[in-house]
């Protein structure tokens, strides 16, 4: 992870982190650390002669929210770096613009439309099951929103980039 300066909020306390020449300063106090990525994707960190095992439970890069499990204890944080602060100051906190349309990522056959017009959906929610090359592919919502219209129905053949759903 590379960062020059960031702010992190943990349990309603703010910390300022600086990275200068591969040394970390936490609230202007230098700290010695070593971190490695484990084969399973977790991390092992040595900090001030203490050992920590860190597992990322949830990461939302657009909001900076991060939930980690450190030595069995769940901690929720919010990380604000220079880019996030700039986007927030410009009124674009999420860093993502809202999509109006969901398009087919590949040609295929619509097996099942899992939502209806007017449904309020969340990012990652399953919307459509599309069969492509004899495999079922779940098409998930790229964002929170409300379904304005559903352009396809079960058993429709669709082409790549064909509009499937329109958001409000």
H helices, E strands: number in the chain? 1, 17
Is 70 exceeded by the pLDDT of residue 17? Answer: yes
Question: What is the Cα–Cα distance from 124 to 9, expressed in whole angstroms?
Answer: 25
Question: What is the Cα–Cα distance from 115 to 147, expressed in whole angstroms?
Answer: 8
Is 60 exceeded by the pLDDT of residue 135? Answer: yes
Quote the tokens at residue 73.
Answer: 């204890």
- In contact, 26 and 17? CB cutoff 8 Å: yes
Residue 31's pLDDT band (cuts 50, 70, 90): confident
Of residues 78 and 118, more confidently modeled: 118
Per-residue pLDDT tens digits for 155-167: 999 999 999 999 9
| pLDDT the model gives residue 87 | 54
**Partner residues linked to 126 by β-bridges:** 140
Q: Which domains does the chain have, with CATH numbers?
A: 5-89 (3.30.700.30), 101-167 (2.40.50.100)
Distance set, CA 44 to CA 24, 55, 105, 107 (Å): 17, 9, 37, 43
Beta strands 50-60 and 43-47 are: antiparallel
Return the closest-CA partner of residue 103 out of 79, 127, 77. 127
Distance set, CA 3 to CA 81, 120, 122 (Å): 8, 36, 30
- In contact, 15 and 24? CB cutoff 8 Å: no
Length of the chain: 168
């Amino acid at each position: 992870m590379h960062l020059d300066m960031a702010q992190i909020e943990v349990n309603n306390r703010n910390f300022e982190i600086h990275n200068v020449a591969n040394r970390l300063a936490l609230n202007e106090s230098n700290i010695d650390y070593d971190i490695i990525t484990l084969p399973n994707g977790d991390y092992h960190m040595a900090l001030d002669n203490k050992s920590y095992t860190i597992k990322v439970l949830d990461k939302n890069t657009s909001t900076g929210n991060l939930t980690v499990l450190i030595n069995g204890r769940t901690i929720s944080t919010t990380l604000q770096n220079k880019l996030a602060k700039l986007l927030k100051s410009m009124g674009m906190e999420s860093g993502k613009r809202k999509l109006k349309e969901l398009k087919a990522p590949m040609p295929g056959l619509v097996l099942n439309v899992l939502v209806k017009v007017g449904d309020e959906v969340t990012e990652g929610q399953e919307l459509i099951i599309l069969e492509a090359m004899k495999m079922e592919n779940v098409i998930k919502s790229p964002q929170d929103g409300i379904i304005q219209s559903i352009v396809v129905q079960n058993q429709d053949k669709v082409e790549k980039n064909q509009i499937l759903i329109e958001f409000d």
